[in-house]
Structure 1
Amino acid sequence: MTPTPLTLTPGRDPDGTAVLKAVGEIDMSNTDAFSAALSAALDDVPGRLVVDLTGCEYLDSAGINVLFAHAGRIELVASPLLAPVMTFSGLTAVITVRGLEGDAVGRGPHP
């Protein structure tokens, strides 16, 4: 199976917050790479990591499972395009998600 195109870029926001930016589609063909990049970024961060999914056009259940596995240490930024899958999966009940509607959605841990 050919992996779906996905670019994962670790970095920092201007305020110094650690960010992992994902661009493309996250599905079962590339969740191993997504999980590895997320774990590596978390290894370099003592606190919370922001996962920027605003450049993602698709997120399937395999990608959702990777996010659930790290729910205690991440915060998400996503576009309204991903709102249905994040809401119906229950992800917004355990992780703060910014960008879906207004400023923040979800009941996940707040910094």
Structure 2
Amino acid sequence: MNTPLDLATGLQADGAPVLTVVGEIDMSNADLFRTAIADAVVDGHRLTVDLTAVEYLDSAALAALFAHVDQLRVVANPLLDSVLTISGLRDLTTVTIRD
């Protein structure tokens, strides 16, 4: 059974792409997440992955982020701060924590 996950893409005012994620990301839907990231990447711009409405992510979700780490920035809620730090993602890309 797949864990519910909502993905929406858009553009910021400067034309930079944004992928907004709502729900939980785990091994049941990580391929969908990985594909959404790959599809949203635009040459010349860093993709913002908005995880502020994500309540849980596992190692499969982290692997999807790491696969494109040089092309993205992450916005997350405080709940995800420790996993993004411990995984080392914060050392490789911009991570902003928002309430």
TM-score by length of 1: 0.83
- Gap runs ≥5 in structure 1: 102-111
Find the partner of 1:48 among 33, 46, 49. 46
Paired position in structure 1 for 2:37: 38
Q: In the alignment, which residue of structure 2 is the partner of 1:85?
A: 83
Task: Tell me if 1:96 matches 2:64.
Answer: no
Q: Which has the higher helix share?
A: 2
Superposed CA offset, 1:38-66 (max 9, x none)? 11111xx1121100000100011110011
- Residue in structure 2 matched with residue 107 of structure 1 by the alignment: none
Which residue of 2 is the match for residue 106 of structure 1? none
1:72 aligns with 2:75: no
Q: Which runs of 4+ in 1 moved over 2 A?
A: 13-17
The structure whose RCO (Cα within 8 Å, separation 6+) is larger is 2
Structure 2 counterpart of 1:20: 19
Q: Secondary structure at the match of 1:52?
A: strand
Other-structure match for 1:109: none
Give the Cα–Cα distance (whole angstroms) in 1 for the partners of residues 83 and 61 of structure 2. Answer: 11
In structure 2, distance between residues paired with 1:11 and 1:60: 25
Q: TM-score, normalised by structure 2?
A: 0.92
Equivalences, count: 98
- The structural deviation recorded for 1:82 is 0.2
